[in-house]
Amino acid sequence: MAQVFVRVLDELLDTSHVRCDPGLPPPGPSHHPTPQDRESSITGLQGPGYVCSALCGPQGPPLLLIGPHDCGKTALLFMAAVVAAEEGAGPVIYLSRDPLQKLPGAGKLARDPLILKQIRFLYPKTLEELLQLLSSLHLTSPSPYLLLLDGLELFLSPGCSPTDGAFLSALLLDSSTNLRCGLLVSAVPPSEVVDGVFMTVERYFPNQCHLSPEVSTDVEQKKYSIAYLNNLPERFLHIHQDGTLRIFDNQPNKIIEPNGQKIGGRRYH
């Protein structure tokens, strides 16, 4: 769910660290995306090749969060689950193949531990189990407010076909739209450049957010850029060794050469 995801990023936003880099315009209201900008930029993207056309529910359009292993996707999804549970509008369903080993540390320091009771953690082991679960979501009462799936790629084994990827994506979208609940999915893209199954999945999710590692000499924290497919202003995620997450609107300590080329923040794939 894009809106919850944006609220999570806003909560993690480190406003104490905003610094004007040489060569960049001074910070000001016009350089920070307004909530309206964010919402309009992450809704309604349609393009050639997309087969998805799921309607936006009241919680905004479904969002696919794509990034490598250990880039904080699980922590961000978990935070989205907690933030949605705190809103109290209904149950939150958190799907993952493997149980969470520890609670990701992020966001507000003081949270009511009882809020976790509002989150239903389900751990289907196979694609069949997951499909079964999604097809019977309407049997759960009350209807979920937010549906999260962490690690979609873990359910698509190398033997799966593009049809399997489409079936899973379509059932996720159809279920969440039918039940009018939000949908937030995370996935690790395949290492190969071309993968028919994952490409099919991406065709169902026009709204995507990509986490890409940033080159950094900092050993204490890992840095990632957060980019949307549709030109929403880029943000940066820093993950400290202790698992703490912080979000920056500008990349701190990024050096910009006079010709505008980034030195400290070059992105690679």
Partner 1 sequence: MNTVLPSVAEELIREIKRNFQETSQISDEHLLALKFIFGPTALQALDLVDQRSVTRVTSPSGRTTFQVTGSSGKMYTCYSFCHYCSCPAFSFSVLRKNESLLCKHILAVYLSQATGTCQERTVSDQQICDILLAKEL
Complex with partner 1: residue 77 or 197, whichever CB lies closer: 197
Residue 194 engages partner 1 in binding (rule: CB under 8 A): no
Integer Cα distance of 121 and 100 in angstroms: 9
The tokens for 49 are 């090749």
Measured from the CB of residue 139, what is the shortest distance to partner 1 in angstroms?
A: 6
Closest CA to 91 of 139, 146, 173: 146
Measured from the CB atom, is 169 or 212 closer to partner 1?
169
The Cα–Cα gap between 75 and 155 comes to 20
Percent helix / strand / coil, the chain, rounded to 5: 30, 20, 45
Q: Does 170 bind partner 1 (CB under 8 A)?
A: yes
Which one of 34, 126, 157, 163 is in contact with partner 1 (CB under 8 A)? 163
Which residues within the stretch 199-258 sit at the binding site for partner 1 (CB under 8 A)? 200, 203-204
Q: Work out whether 20 is an interface residue with partner 1 (CB under 8 A).
A: no
Q: Which amino acid is at 56?
A: C
135 contributes a contact to partner 1 by CB under 8 A:
yes
**Pairing between β-strand 208-213 and β-strand 63-66 as defined by DSSP bridges:** parallel
| Residue pointed to by tokens 């995620």 | 237
Would you say 178 or 221 has its CB closer to partner 1?
178
Binding residue (CB under 8 A) for partner 1 from 166, 189, 213, 256: 166
When asked if residue 167 is in the footprint of partner 1 (CB under 8 A), the reply is yes
Q: In whole angstroms, what separates CA 89 from the centre of its chain?
A: 20
Exactly one of 161, 243, 263, 266 binds partner 1 (CB under 8 A); that residue is 161
Compute the least distance from the CB of residue 79 to partner 1, in Å.
27
CA distances from 67 to 25, 71, 126, 213, 217 (A): 29, 7, 22, 9, 20
The stretch near partner 1 (CB under 8 A) out of 35-43, 147-155, 163-171, 245-253 is 163-171
106 in contact with partner 1 (CB under 8 A): no
Query: Any idea how long the chain is?
Result: 269
Instruction: List, in order, residues 6 or more apart from 45 with CB less than 8 Å away.
Output: 206, 207, 229, 230
Identified binder of partner 1 from the candidate list 2, 12, 75, 173, rule CB under 8 A:
173
> Rounded to whole angstroms, how far apart are CA atoms 98 and 253?
36
Using CB under 8 A as the criterion, which residues of the chain lie in contact with partner 1 when the complex forms?
Answer: 46, 49, 51-55, 131-132, 135-136, 138-139, 161-163, 166-167, 170-171, 173-174, 177-179, 196, 200, 203-204
